[in-house]
Chain A
Amino acid sequence: MKIRKDGWVVAAGLLALSAASLAAPPTAAMLSNACAGCHGTHGVSAGPSMPSLAGQSKISIVESMKGFKSGERPSTIMGRLAKGYSDAEIDAMGEFFSKQKPETPVQTLDRAKIAKGQAVHEKSCARCHVEDGKEPKDNSPIVASQWLKYLQIQMDDYASGKRKMFDNKAEKMKPLSRDDLDAAAHFYSSVK
Chain B
Amino acid sequence: MTLDRRNFLKMLGAGAGASALQGCAGTAPMVSAGGGEIMPKSGRRVVVVGGGYGGTIAAKYIRMLDASIEVVLIERNRQFISCPFSNLVVGGIRNMSDLTIGYDKLASNHGIKMLYGDVTAIDAGAKTVAMAAGTLKYDRLVLSPGIDFRFEELAGYDPVTTPEIMPHAWKAGPQTELLRKQLLDMKDGGTVVITLPLAPYRCPPGPYERANMIALYLKQHKPKSKIIILDANPDITSKAGLFRKGWAKHYAGMISYKGANKVTAVDAKNRSVLIEGVEEVKADVLNVIPPQRAGDIAVKAGLVGADKKWCPVNATTFESTLAKDIHVIGDACVAGAMPKSGYSANSEAKICATNVVALMNGRETIEISGINTCYSFITDKEAVSVAGVYKVANGAIVGVPNSGGVSPDLSELEAIYAESWLRNILTEMST
Interface positions of A (Cβ within 8 A of B) = 1-3, 11, 14-15, 18-27, 29-31, 33-41, 45-50, 76-77, 80-85, 89, 149, 153
Contacts and interface: CB of A to CB of B under 8 A. Distances in A.
B369 A77 contact: no
B343 interface: yes
28 contacts: A1-B3, A2-B2, A2-B3, A3-B7, A3-B11, A18-B315, A19-B317, A24-B364, A24-B367, A26-B391, A30-B351, A33-B347, A34-B347, A37-B343, A40-B424, A40-B428, A45-B420, A46-B424, A47-B420, A49-B420, A76-B411, A77-B387, A82-B403, A83-B389, A83-B400, A85-B403, A149-B416, A153-B416
Nearest to B426: A46
A37 B365 CA distance: 22
Contacts of B196: none
B385 interface: yes
A15 B424 contact: no
B371 A35 contact: yes
Contacts of B389: 34, 81, 83-85
Contacts of B316: 18-20, 23
A14 B367 CA distance: 18
Listed residue (B3, B60, B389) with the most chain A CB atoms within 10 angstroms of its CB: B389
B370 interface: yes
Contact of B367 (A20, A48, A82): A20
Nearest to A26: B369
A63 to B, nearest CB: 19
Nearest to A81: B387
A50 B367 CA distance: 27
A38 B420 contact: yes
Contact of A41 (B317, B388, B392, B428): B428
A41 to B, nearest CB: 5
A26 B367 contact: yes
A76 B315 CA distance: 29
A50 B424 contact: yes
Nearest to A82: B403
A84 B404 contact: yes
Given A23-B365, A31-B369, 8 more contacts: A26-B367, A30-B350, A37-B424, A46-B424, A77-B385, A81-B404, A84-B403, A85-B400
Contacts of A23: 316, 355, 364-367, 392
Given A15-B15, A50-B420, A37 B367 contact: no
B354 interface: yes
Nearest to A10: B3
Given A33-B61, A41-B428, A76 B421 contact: no
B420 A76 contact: no
B11 to A, nearest CB: 6
Contacts of A3: 3, 7-8, 11
Contacts of B373: 37-38, 77, 81
Contacts of A36: 350, 428
Contacts of B411: 76
B269 interface: no
B237 interface: no
A103 to B, nearest CB: 11
Given A1-B2, A30-B369, A49-B420, A22 B364 contact: yes
A76 B413 contact: yes
A52 B346 CA distance: 19
B339 to A, nearest CB: 14
B368 A26 contact: yes
A34 B353 CA distance: 12
Interface string B398-422: 0110111101000101101101110
Given A11-B11, A15-B12, A20-B316, A80 B405 contact: yes
Nearest to A2: B1
Contacts of A48: 419-420, 423
B66 to A, nearest CB: 13
B424 A83 contact: no
B417 A77 contact: yes
A25 B1 CA distance: 21
Contacts of A38: 373, 420-421, 424-425
B395 A80 contact: no
A37 B369 contact: no
Nearest to A8: B15
Contacts of B423: 46-48
A35 B314 CA distance: 22
Given A37-B346, A77-B385, A84-B404, A18 B395 contact: yes
Given A3-B8, A20-B314, A80 B404 contact: yes
B68 interface: no
Contacts of A19: 12, 314, 316-317, 319, 365
Interface string B362-395: 0011111111010000000000010111011001
A149 B424 CA distance: 14
4 tightest A-B CB contacts, nearest first: A84-B389, A84-B403, A46-B427, A83-B403
B354 A33 contact: yes
A136 B350 CA distance: 30
